[in-house]
Structure 1
């Protein structure tokens, strides 16, 4: 059976001459048939005289009535057919008009979307070009323009974050503190001072040769970079009004100043070989993974109440000031291998759900792992602790290894719980250690 197209019933009916002729022939044939039947009936009754005349007259009236009725039926058929044709033609025209309007609306929407995409692309390209300007105000304006584009266009957010991260990865030298002064003040301070009493330049008041323009440009660049950091920090904070989702951050080799991620939700965070000036603060945040291998922390590192779902690495990093990892959870492998801590390092009340490796770490001042929980094996082999080390209340639910570690200062395991006997092969202890759990 041949299937009909879905819109076939809406197509207008053709009022063709052949179709009308067929109906007309049908009406005539019906009329003739009725007349013939009546005529045969009349002959069969053997009527004569007046009865025959009356019957013939009645037959003529009946035949005429049938003819009129047939003509009326034919006329009615033509009228109904014309009405149906008009209705279907109207419905078809309305359907065509509706589809035409929908097509025009789709074309208009596509044209508008295309125009918007072109405008967004042009604005994005212009802003990226302005980031390369020599003038700091132009670079600042470019960052604000990119931020506005990302706020209005969700698909651009990761791209804009990538641009901000790339900018922070560019080489940068931190300016001296007095670069916060104006250029003219820097220039005045750079000149040697004249001693009125002696009538000559006073050697003790001579200042070293400086480049005021370069120092001022360095200060301006610092402000631009702080704006780029602020863009990242504001839009990764889940508690803020403009959260952009768990974007990835590639800040490898970046130069960061007072960097912080507070209540942030981040994808993969790459901080390998990054340099942190002033403190670095991570609080209440969630990371898909975090790699800070080779990073340099010039000031305090605070890492509190965070969750790292994937791998955590801080291999061969150098922390010049105090470090504090507190109340944080590491769901996957965590590696602190080879990192150096010049000041106090405290890893307390943390939970390591998988392997934790502290192999080769160096603690030049006090180190503490108190009340931390290790659900899988923990390795402290070849670790060097030059001052006091505390494992008070630490819980080891799997193997723990301290092979070839060196504890110069006091070591305290009081209150620690071990699921298996810890390994101390080749471990060296100084005076005042307490290995009783």
Structure 2
């Protein structure tokens, strides 16, 4: 009997349902407890009324009816409290049943959506995308899981060429829909169904178009190893105010990737070891006030990376140890009122780095230890009223450096310890350093 009782007590009743004692145990215990409590209250009340009666002159006997009324009143109050606790317990049981039913329903929806994503028909896969997005909105506890599934779909092998044998009909539309759904959930950070704080893993995915425009990135987003070989991928007007966005080892061979008008006020965006062999990556009119943007060890063998008319008043943009053998990096018309743009240790054997028409009132543009054996570095028409342009320990053995039409009303240009052996210079207003 004891073993059976213990088994009933320990039997699982569901995640939200508490264990219950059998009625044949609870009822006698409750009656005994109620009787004992009544007895205690009766004696306490009797003593109280006895003391009150003894103080009267002449002394009066204790009125048993008053004692009974006080006892009944106290027991009624205790009963009301217990009834409230019982009602609260029933409410907990009801909520547990509701939670369990909801969890079961959400799990079924997840299974259905996942099966739809694996269907052969593109229309069914599209339905799965919308179903999973809606499930993420309804299921806050597993929202990251739903996001991970959508990202995993984009990481799957994809052949964008419709003439290739591996191409799947309708696949591009499915992938573009996933990107659009993610973007729609990154528009309003304060919305209850916003995904801005969550993580996105697009590692090694293939992008031939898609828009993340006006999105807010506050979590960790990985485009590491991704391939951008066609179409247009937009981050226009996006806000990077925290977290980390990585394009490390990504390949840009044909796409147009736009960060135009984006705001970098915190966090980190990295393109370390990325390869730019074609296409265009633009940061035109972007604002850098606190973020770290890194192109360290990147290879530029074609295409364009442009910061035209961008504003730098804080943070750091680094091209340290990058290799330039073709292509173009442009800061034309950019405004520097703070922060640092660093090309430390960069190797320039081709292509061009342009600061044409840039305005420098503070901050630093640094080429410390850079090697120039070809290509061009242009500051034509730049206006410098503060800050510094530094080439310390740089090596010039080829290519062209030009300051034609530049204006210097303040700030410094530093070629300390630089080595000159073959580069063509148009010094403009810059004093010619010794050895040049």
TM-score by length of 1: 0.69
More helix by share: 1
After TM superposition, the runs of 4+ consecutive aligned structure 1 residues lying more than 4 A away are: 13-21, 239-242
CA positional deviation for 1:332: 4.2
The answer on whether the counterparts of 2:235 and 2:258 sit within 8 Å (CA) in structure 1 is yes
CA positional deviation for 1:421: 4.4
Structure 1, 219-228 or 264-273: larger mean CA deviation: 219-228
Aligned partners of 1:364 and 1:19: how far apart in 2? 99
Aligned partners of 1:87 and 1:11: how far apart in 2? 13
The answer on whether the counterparts of 2:379 and 2:402 sit within 8 Å (CA) in structure 1 is yes
The answer on whether the counterparts of 1:131 and 1:142 sit within 8 Å (CA) in structure 2 is yes
* 2:354 equivalent among 389, 396, 421: 389
Aligned partners of 1:94 and 1:320: how far apart in 2? 79
Counterpart secondary structure, 2:267: coil
Aligned partners of 2:43 and 2:187: how far apart in 1? 78
Counterpart secondary structure, 1:386: strand
The answer on whether the counterparts of 2:348 and 2:375 sit within 8 Å (CA) in structure 1 is no
The answer for the alignment partner of 2:343 in structure 1 is 379
| Residue 308 (structure 2) pairs with residue 356 (structure 1) | no
* 1:292 equivalent among 247, 264, 279: 247
* 2:85 equivalent among 74, 99, 112: 99
Larger Rg: 1 or 2? 1
Structure 1: gaps spanning 5 or more residues: 1-7, 35-65, 180-209
Aligned partners of 1:150 and 1:94: how far apart in 2? 43
CA positional deviation for 1:91: 1.6
The answer for the alignment partner of 1:220 in structure 2 is 170
The answer on whether the counterparts of 2:269 and 2:291 sit within 8 Å (CA) in structure 1 is yes
* 1:272 equivalent among 224, 231, 253: 224
The answer on whether the counterparts of 1:303 and 1:328 sit within 8 Å (CA) in structure 2 is no
The answer for the alignment partner of 1:328 in structure 2 is 287
CA positional deviation for 1:384: 3.8
CA positional deviation for 1:129: 3.3
Structure 1, 134-143 or 393-402: larger mean CA deviation: 393-402
Aligned partners of 1:358 and 1:17: how far apart in 2? 89
Cα RMSD after superposing both structures: 3.7
Aligned partners of 1:399 and 1:342: how far apart in 2? 23
More strand by share: 2
CA positional deviation for 1:377: 6.2
The answer for the alignment partner of 1:369 in structure 2 is 331
Shift of the 238–317 alpha-carbon distance from structure 1 to 2, 3 Å rule, reads farther
Deviations 1:199-219 (A, max 9, x none): xxxxxxxxxxx86xx65xx12
Shift of the 388–225 alpha-carbon distance from structure 1 to 2, 3 Å rule, reads closer
CA positional deviation for 1:170: 0.4
* 1:338 equivalent among 279, 298, 301: 298
Aligned partners of 2:348 and 2:43: how far apart in 1? 105
The answer for the alignment partner of 1:124 in structure 2 is 110
The answer for the alignment partner of 1:301 in structure 2 is 257
CA positional deviation for 1:19: 9.9
The answer for the alignment partner of 1:234 in structure 2 is 184
Deviations 1:226-276 (A, max 9, x none): 221122111112289753332221111012232221221121121111122
Counterpart secondary structure, 1:427: strand
The answer for the alignment partner of 2:203 in structure 1 is 252
TM-score by length of 2: 0.69
Shift of the 260–132 alpha-carbon distance from structure 1 to 2, 3 Å rule, reads same
Structure 1, 365-374 or 293-302: larger mean CA deviation: 365-374
The answer on whether the counterparts of 1:175 and 1:219 sit within 8 Å (CA) in structure 2 is no
Aligned partners of 1:387 and 1:16: how far apart in 2? 99
